[in-house]
């Protein structure tokens, strides 16, 4: 996927298409390629925007879920968006929820897939085998129902992150922040329509997490995708896009 990286002050982002803004928030090991099929599908109907979250660029005190949510808030303000459809995968869903809780008037809908915020089995809080490529490959494969989705390119990307001492420290810091920042007591305050799209075989944020989100968020609907892990938009993009299209069609601005 070759999309132009745009710059606006300190912000870097991808923006494709025209229409209502659909803002995509990636996870801890997320990359633009995670959203390739989603961007290709929705750029004909929406302005699809991927802000590149500064996972490794914030100072250590701001390397938190709240710090990333503030970055998203400043980005949306800088772009002048007043009503957005938010979508977040994994940590990106968590960031989207924190942003939404503080800016509900600016959010038209939120879609969560494999979101943290309640419970997650992460890569682990430490990396005792940082230099072990096979260990990282197996951990990356656990993200998916079909391990073949974890391409060498994807494994190489994760491997390069965890073998960079500073980046590894930031990953652990963010993972700990996500665990500490449990949203269980706040989700009842979310009023915007919420779509949960979950892999039935997600081992990182298991099905019970999706059910808990649905029970806590008042205006939410839950859709399951069978034979699918933690990143449905990558693993089963056709079914994912169909569910999301139906949801967004019901909530046009």
In a domain? residue 84: yes
Q: How many domains does the chain have?
A: 1
The per-residue pLDDT for 126 is 46
What would the mean pLDDT of 224-232 be, rounded to a whole number? 96
| Average pLDDT, rounded, for the chain | 92
* Inter-residue contact 194 to 220 (CB < 8 Å): yes
Mean pLDDT value across residues 82-97? 96
Q: Is residue 154 part of a domain?
A: no
Number of alpha helices (DSSP H) and beta strands (DSSP E) in the chain: 9, 8
Q: How far is CA 133 from CA 72, 93, 140, 171, 202, in A?
A: 33, 28, 10, 17, 23
Single pTM value for the model:
0.94
Task: Look at residue 62 in the predicted model and tell me its pLDDT.
Answer: 93
Q: Domain with 34 in it: what CATH number?
A: 3.40.50.1820
68 lies in some domain:
yes
Q: Is 85 exposed, middle or buried (0-12, 13-18, 19+ CB in 10 A)?
A: buried
Whole-number pLDDT of residue 247: 97
In the prediction, which pLDDT does 1 show? Answer: 53
Task: Give the lowest-confidence range in 127-131, 151-155, 205-209, 238-242.
Answer: 127-131
Indicate whether 168 belongs to any domain: no
The one-character DSSP state at 32 is G
Range of the domain at 243: 6-120+182-250
Q: Is residue 36 part of a domain?
A: yes
Residue 109 forms part of a structural domain: yes
The answer as to whether 101 is a domain residue is yes
Q: Is the pLDDT of residue 83 over 70?
A: yes
Whether residue 79 lies inside any domain: the answer is yes
pLDDT at res. 28: 86
């Amino acid at each position: 996927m070759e999309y132009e990286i745009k710059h606006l002050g300190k912000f870097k982002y991808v923006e494709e298409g025209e229409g209502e803004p659909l803002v995509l928030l990636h996870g801890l090991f997320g990359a633009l390629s995670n959203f390739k099929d989603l961007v290709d599908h929705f750029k004909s109907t929406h302005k699809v925007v991927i802000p590149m979250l500064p996972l490794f660029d914030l100072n250590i005190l701001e390397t938190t879920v709240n710090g990333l949510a503030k970055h998203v808030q400043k980005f949306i303000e800088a772009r002048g968006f007043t009503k957005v459809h938010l979508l977040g995968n994994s940590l990106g869903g968590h960031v989207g929820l924190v942003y939404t809780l503080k800016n509900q008037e600016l959010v038209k809908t939120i879609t969560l897939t494999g979101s943290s915020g309640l419970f997650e089995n992460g890569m682990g809080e430490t990396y005792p085998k940082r230099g072990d490529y096979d260990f990282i490959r197996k951990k990356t494969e656990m993200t998916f129902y079909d391990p073949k989705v974890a391409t060498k390119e994807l494994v190489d990307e994760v491997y390069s992150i965890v073998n960079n001492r500073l980046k590894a420290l930031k990953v652990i810091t963010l993972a700990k922040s996500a665990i500490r920042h449990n949203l269980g007591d706040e989700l009842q305050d979310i009023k915007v329509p919420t779509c949960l799209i979950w892999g039935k075989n997600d081992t990182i944020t298991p099905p019970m997490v999706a059910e808990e989100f649905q029970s806590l968020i008042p205006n939410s609907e839950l859709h399951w995708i069978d034979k699918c892990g933690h990143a449905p938009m990558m693993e089963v993009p056709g079914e994912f896009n169909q569910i999301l299209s139906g949801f967004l069609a019901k909530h046009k601005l």
